[in-house]
Every structure is written in C-alpha cells, then in structure tokens.
Amino acid sequence: MSQWGEEGPYQALLTTDCAGCHMGVNSGGETPFVISATEPSYQMTGTEAGTNTLAGGNFFWVASTGMDSRGHNVEGLTAPDSSLPSPPGFDGSQAAADGSIPAGGSWPNGRQVGCAGTYGCHGTHSETHPVAAVKGGHHQGRGGAITSPGSEPAGGYRMLVGIAGYEDPLWEYSVDAGSHNQYKGADGTRDDSTISSLCIRCHGKFHDQGSIGRWIRHPVDYDMANSAADSEVRGYGGDTNQYQPAVPVASFDVSRPLSQVSMQGGEAIVTCLSCHRAHGSPYDKMMRFNYAGSLGDGCIVCHTSKD
C-alpha cells in the first residue's frame, strides 16, 4: 500500500517507522508531525497565529543541507552532524527513572541520536530498537496532567521516561497564555522528573555552576522568584506576569497550564526549553527566537531592562 514504509518488515506488525507516521504538515489533527518535506510556517517565534509548528519545533531545518545547528541530527531523518561526533556535554552518568542511561554511559564516536531508545529521547534507554523502547506508549499513554510519571514509557510526559508535565492536547498547534504545555521545573535541587533533567541525560556538563560558584552558562531549573525584589526578571510577562508561550517557564505544579505566573515561588522556573526547541527551529542552536540575528528578541522577555 502506498502509505506503508519501504524499509520493512517492521516490529510489532507496524507498517512503517517513526517518520512514516510523524512526517507531514500540521493542521490541528490527531497526529503530531515533527518533520515536514516543505518549510513549516514559523514566523518569529513559532507561536504566532498561522504558524504550524508544534511545541518541539520541526526537524525540517536540520534536515536541510548545511543546517546542522538547527536541530538534533536524528538517524533516519537527517544526515549525521558534520562536526559533532557525540552529544556536546555528554558525561554518561545521568540515568532515567528506570535506571537506563543514554548509550549505556559511553557514547560511540559518530553514533547518531535516535527518536527513541538507547540513543534517543523517548522511551527507555535500555532498548536499542525505538519501537521496543516506547512499548505501550501509544496504546496506554496518558494525557493531560502527568504528575506521577513512574518509570514506564507510557507513564511519562510524551513517553519520556520519568518526566512529569501537563500535555497540551494539540501539542501547542494553537497556543496562547492559557493553552499550552506546562513543563515541570525544580529550584536548584536535583529532580529527575523535570523537563531539563531529560536534556541533562545527554548534555550533563551544560549549565553547571563553575567552581567559583558563578554560573558559567545560563542557569536552568532556576526559579526567578529567587531574584532580588528589583530584578529585571520579575518583569517576565509584564505587570501581571502573564505566561509567555514564546518563552515558556516551568513550575512545581503541573496539574494545569498557568495563564499567569507568580513570583512568590515555584511558577517562574527557567528550563532548557525556555530558549530552545527540542526537535529543531529555523535558528542557530535550535533557539526559539532569532538570538544570533538580533539584539536578543526572546531574551528581553526575562531580561526586561535590556529592551
């Protein structure tokens, strides 16, 4: 049949692979498309009316020749990264809730990342094949508020083992201050259920504090409510601290999406995804906004005095 893949047979009586189901143009339907054959509509931040990228962004740009820095170079979707033989910052010590570690703790030189499994983000890292890694996730997966993700792929936010969060039913196809994913965050303490802890499994040496106690890169799992009373970051979202989908912040409580955030604690937490798209974007370093080509755009959402 024309819709079946050409690389079969496939596991679990499937007729195609990940890309076979998740390649297309989003129109608000039941299947999220993460890679498109033609350039998606992104505009400035991917959150404006008329855009058709989802919360994770799109692999279209990294799949285009010479655009390695615009997304994860996923096997089967893109060519290998021309300059990075392994995930930058990988230290092989960060385990998921089921105890599995990406690449078993030792990343082979030149090995591409995958959608799921040992070298991927979704499912358990204990299974090499992506289908086995997310076993049960499509049929038994949960939706809405995932506050106790457990250690099975089906229990985690977006089939990410051990990760909590609130899942927007349309993957942020249409997004506004009251309708969006709500990411789990922590405040300076290790919490393996936060969305940033997922990133750290492969990029563990990023965003750490230097030996002199100063941040050497941008902090994550940092609550802006800890800032001084007159800090610029307390102006996130304006006078009412309205949630900004273009620069999302995380919270302790992920039982619902927040339309406003409090600077009293636990609702204005910086995450990796505050600045980056997980899959890819039109911008360098998978940024949500055009950091390199402007004076910062999205940066001023938090760093309000730089506007």
pLDDT of residue 137: 86
Q: Which amino acid is at 123?
A: G
* Two structure tokens written together for 141: 């997966």
Best CA proximity match to 208, nearest among 195, 222, 194 = 222
SS3 state of residue 63? helix
pLDDT of residue 12: 66
Does 112 score more than 80 pLDDT? yes
pTM over 0.75: yes
pLDDT, one tens digit per residue, over 217-274 is: 788 999 999 999 999 999 999 999 999 999 999 999 999 999 999 999 999 999 999 9
Does 109 score more than 50 pLDDT? yes
Beta bridge pairs of residue 183 = 165
Beta bridge pairs of residue 179 = 176
pLDDT, one tens digit per residue, over 56-86 is: 999 999 998 779 999 999 998 999 999 999 9
Query: Any idea which residue has 């990342």 for tokens?
Result: 113
Residue 166 in contact with residue 181, Cβ under 8 Å? yes
